Amino acid sequence: MQFENTLVFAQQMDAKDPLRSYRDEFHFPKVKGKEVIYFTGNSLGLQPKRTQKFVDSVMTDWKELAVEGHFQGEKPWWDYHERLAAPLARVVGAKTREVTVMNTLTVNLHLLMVSFYRPTQKRYKIICEEKAFPSDQYMLQSQLRFHGLDPKEALIEIKKREGEHFWRTEDILAKIEEVGDALALVLIGGVNYYNGQVLAMESITKAGKSAGAVVGWDLAHAAGNVHLDLHKWDVDFASWCSYKYMNSGPGNASGVFINERHLNNKDLPRFEGWWGTKKETRFLMKPEFEPMDSADAWQISNVPVLSVAPYLASLELFDEVGMEALIAKRKILTAYLEFVLHAIDAEVDSSFEIITPEERGCQLSVFLHGEGRALFDYLMENGVITDWREPNVIRLAPAPFYCSFEDMYRFGQILKQGILGD
Ligand SMILES: *Cc1c(COP(=O)(O)O)cnc(C)c1O
């Protein structure tokens, strides 16, 4: 498609956008009385307007039913999380019973490591990406130390090549093969938080499994953003947070995928609690643990309903729109943003280097050569919400649910003014 860096063109694109009405489903913060241009849906998605109603309904049940709310009311609390499994399974390409919602992401990765990282004398190494999200690094290092292993020796980080900003799939596959018999686990971020790269999840999973390892994915930046087919790819486990592209609110409950193959494996260790036992007999308060026949067996505590309610509201939106339509808009919107960046680049002295490779989702990470923190401050003061990573990278994520083509055009104009001066 032939793009143009004009307001008229951007507005025409919006008029043709089948998802345009969804912008109005979200609350936008305001700066100087104007709705912001929001590029940080990769960090905290905007609040859907319908979320309030879901939360209020829990508050009302609590007020009016108190403890009876566990079993009465429109959405009883005791199995509230089960309502999320089917729509969430559609987002990540799983069977309903392979998905559950619980805890938060790093906590879930720790719990999943209990089941899926079982080091032996020979097979104990973990492969991850270099400079993984800090929480994942701390999680992996502490897990290794917990098992009496030295992270320096047991944690293998896949490097980018000298002078390159992205990982090459062939390098990852070669490393998996090289570690071979010593490889216990591959655990990588499916979409990298820094450069926005989408990793070749299917082929990496396949390679990890042929090496005899377990393969898990951290999908924090992938869920609700890119195509996922976890069951078909034969991924062992995965987890993601719900507050980035999934718009469920700060620090909110996390999603978990556990391949159906593992669900009834009695040899798999697991940390257990009463919400993982069979519903039918849970309240008989028996000493024996009888696992649910689904990923729910990994549930430990009773459901944090007030934090799961916003996730359910958000999933209703995902179900209405579908990942396919979201991905179609995301591709063209991100391409338009890229075009606008190049167009502005040609008009100013600075130069923008997009370090996100072709294999990308929503996010473009941009080096602003010749510019500094003052430009970022200018953007924020003028209603462009983005984030800054040293030395001078901004991450722009035009979430397709609520960002418009006009936003991209207007961003370009503000960027230009910030460089040239008003
Ligand atoms: C956002 C993010 C996290 C956050 O973890 P929490 O436990 O939800 O605080 C972890 N890992 C990655 C890769 C992330 O992008």
C-alpha span between 369 and 109 (Å, rounded)? 37
C-alpha span between 43 and 362 (Å, rounded)? 12
Pocket test for ligand 1, best of 42, 44, 105, 191 (most atoms within 8 A of CB): 105
Closest CA to 25 of 322, 318, 243: 318
The residue ranges of every structural domain in the chain are 7-47+322-420, 52-321
Q: Whose CA is nearest to atom 13 of ligand 1?
A: 133
Which residues have any ligand 1 atom within 6 Å of their CB? Answer: 104-106, 133, 135-136, 189, 193, 218, 220-221, 241
Atom of ligand 1 nearest to the CA of 241: 8
Q: 298-324, pLDDT tens digit by residue? A: 999 999 999 999 999 999 999 999 999
Angle CA(106)–CA(233)–CA(181) in degrees, nearest 5? 75
Atom of ligand 1 nearest to the CA of 106: 7
Atom of ligand 1 nearest to the CA of 218: 13
For residue 21, count CB atoms less than 10 angstroms from its CB and return exposed for 0-12, middle for 13-18, buried for 19 or more. Answer: exposed
How far is ligand 1, taken at its centre, from the CA of residue 255, in Å?
Answer: 12
Instruction: State residue 171's pLDDT score.
Output: 98
How far is ligand 1, taken at its centre, from the CA of residue 224, in Å?
Answer: 15
Q: Whose CA is nearest to atom 8 of ligand 1?
A: 105
Closest CA to 365 of 352, 350, 347, 349: 352
Helix (H, G, I), strand (E, B) or coil at 30: strand
C-alpha span between 254 and 234 (Å, rounded)? 21
- Under the banding of pLDDT at 50, 70 and 90, the label for residue 22 is very high
Q: 172-185, pLDDT tens digit by residue? A: 999 999 999 999 99
Mean pLDDT of the chain, nearest integer: 96
Q: 214-261, pLDDT tens digit by residue? A: 999 999 999 999 999 999 999 999 999 999 999 999 999 999 999 999
Atom of ligand 1 nearest to the CA of 193: 15
C-alpha span between 190 and 226 (Å, rounded)? 9
C-alpha span between 195 and 366 (Å, rounded)? 9
Long-range contacts of 145-153 (CB under 8 A, 24+ apart): 147/117, 147/119, 149/119, 149/124
Q: Give, in words, the CATH class of 7-47+322-420.
A: alpha beta
How far is ligand 1, taken at its centre, from the CA of residue 326, in Å?
Answer: 22
Instruction: State residue 372's pLDDT score.
Output: 84
Atom of ligand 1 nearest to the CA of 107: 7
How far is ligand 1, taken at its centre, from the CA of residue 158, in Å?
Answer: 19
Q: Are strands 99-102 and 254-258 parallel, antiparallel or unpaired?
A: antiparallel
**52-321 matches 7-47+322-420 in CATH topology:** no
C-alpha span between 371 and 318 (Å, rounded)? 38
Query: Which of 126-130, 137-141, 201-205, 277-281 is predicted with the least confidence, judged by mean pLDDT?
Result: 277-281
For residue 24, count CB atoms less than 10 angstroms from its CB and return exposed for 0-12, middle for 13-18, buried for 19 or more. Answer: exposed
Pocket test for ligand 1, best of 103, 188, 241, 389 (most atoms within 8 A of CB): 241
C-alpha span between 199 and 208 (Å, rounded)? 14
Residue 373 main-chain phi, psi, to 5 deg: -55, -30
Upper half-sphere CA count for residue 133 (Cβ side, 13 Å):
21
Q: Whose CA is nearest to atom 2 of ligand 1?
A: 220
CATH 3.40.640.10 for domain 52-321: yes
Helix (H, G, I), strand (E, B) or coil at 192: coil
**326 C-beta neighbours (distance < 10 Å), count:** 23
- Under the banding of pLDDT at 50, 70 and 90, the label for residue 371 is confident
Whole-model pTM?
0.97
C-alpha span between 261 and 238 (Å, rounded)? 14
Q: Whose CA is nearest to atom 14 of ligand 1?
A: 220
Helix axis angle, 7-16 to 323-347, nearest 10°: 180
How far is ligand 1, taken at its centre, from the CA of residue 267, in Å?
Answer: 29
Instruction: State residue 40's pLDDT score.
Output: 98
How far is ligand 1, taken at its centre, from the CA of residue 400, in Å?
Answer: 21
Residue 103 and residue 299 in contact, taking contact as beta carbons nearer than 8 Å = no
**Token reading at 100:** 């559950």
359-379: average pLDDT: 93
C-alpha span between 392 and 371 (Å, rounded)? 7
29-34: average pLDDT: 96
C-alpha span between 14 and 27 (Å, rounded)? 19
- For residue 44, what are the contacts with CB-CB under 8 A and spacing of at least 6? 243, 244, 250
Q: 383-408, pLDDT tens digit by residue? A: 999 998 888 899 999 999 999 999 99
**Counts for the chain of helices (H) and strands (E), in that order:** 13, 15
C-alpha span between 398 and 225 (Å, rounded)? 11
118-144: average pLDDT: 97
Instruction: State residue 422's pLDDT score.
Output: 61
Amino acid, single-letter form, for residue 213: A
Instruction: State residue 45's pLDDT score.
Output: 98
Q: 274-291, pLDDT tens digit by residue? A: 999 999 888 888 899 999
How far is ligand 1, taken at its centre, from the CA of residue 254, in Å?
Answer: 10
